[in-house]
Amino acid sequence: MQTIHGFIVGLHIVTGALSLLLFWVPSLTKKGGKAHRRYGDYYIKAMLFTSISGVISSTMVLFIPLVIYPTMPEHFESVAYFTAYLRGQYIFLLMLSLLVWNNVRHAVTVLKVKQNLNKLRTIEYLWLPALLFAVACIALYQGLTYGITLTCIFAPIALLNAIGIARYAFQKDILVGAWVTEHIGHIIGSGIGAYTAFFAFGGRTLFEGSPSLQIVSWVLPALIGVPFSIWLSCKYKPTTPDHKTSLIKSAKG
């Protein structure tokens, strides 16, 4: 199992690093252009693999932590404490992986269904945001119980993300072209989650001696990504001369 887990993590790291680079091409190129579509497709495929592999690898640790990590470092007081530490780390990684998966899938799907929101109101679609909501609740409880700063910051974000997807799916009216801004917001949200995961796990050694810089690196993707998302959403926000004609009943989709 260690070998399988290590192999999955290795692929996760490789595709994750590739995703971090690919993210900027569709984000900065002309929307709808050839480069945007081509590299956007590459990014989506790489990020889907990265997030799903993150879900698998973190789930393995959560269920069999001592099989994946049979050797306990000396500084841990007990096996129980070591197990709790692993589960705390990997519930956070599971939450981030689910968050990225939700964002990427939703960003792609809204462009496909457009105003026909009935296609989003199915168990086949809503099980993923529901799972994210449940995992985020558990993570938030752990974060508050054990004072884990990063978890306390991102668990509420994950909760709002899951709720936001459900609200979008069940809204009565949708503005023509609203799926474009929905797409932009969730694609950038996936990038925020990916960069946060990188700094929280892969890049933590960069600031190992400075806890304050670690926290800054953890929240920096959100501090950059959220304003960028708002700016792009405002830029491509749909506008029509007649507001009444811009609303489409989703039930008629």
**Hunting for tokens 């792009």 — which residue is that?**
232
If one counts every other C-beta atom within 10 angstroms of the C-beta of residue 56, the result is 16
What is the band of 251 on the pLDDT scale with cuts at 50, 70, 90? very low
* Token output for 37: 């579509």
What is the band of 131 on the pLDDT scale with cuts at 50, 70, 90? very high
What is the band of 244 on the pLDDT scale with cuts at 50, 70, 90? very low
What is the band of 170 on the pLDDT scale with cuts at 50, 70, 90? very high
If one counts every other C-beta atom within 10 angstroms of the C-beta of residue 146, the result is 12
Q: Is the model's pLDDT at 150 over the cut of 50?
A: yes
What average pLDDT does the segment 133-162 reach? 92
What is the band of 83 on the pLDDT scale with cuts at 50, 70, 90? very high
pLDDT of residue 29: 87
Per-residue pLDDT reduced to its tens digit, 5-55: 999 999 998 999 999 899 989 888 888 889 999 999 999 999 999 999 999
> Which alpha helices (H) appear in the chain, and where do they start and end?
2-22, 24-28, 34-63, 65-68, 79-113, 123-146, 149-170, 178-197, 211-235
Report the residue count for the chain.
Answer: 253
List, in sequence order, every residue forming a beta bridge with 249; answer none if it has no partner: 173
Q: Are the CB atoms for 9 and 58 separated by under 8 Å? A: no
Cα→Cα distances 39→47, 53, 102, 135, 230, Å = 12, 21, 20, 31, 22
Query: Among 44-53, 58-67, 79-88, which is the least confidently predicted range?
Result: 79-88
pLDDT of residue 238: 66
210 vs 193: which has the higher pLDDT? 193
Task: Return the closest-CA partner of residue 43 out of 158, 182, 183.
Answer: 183
* Residue 90 phi, psi (nearest 5): -85, -20
Task: Delimit the domains of the chain by residue range.
Answer: 2-252
pLDDT of residue 245: 40
Query: Among 58-62, 80-84, 101-105, which is the least confidently predicted range?
Result: 80-84
Cα 97 from Cα 195, distance rounded (Å): 11
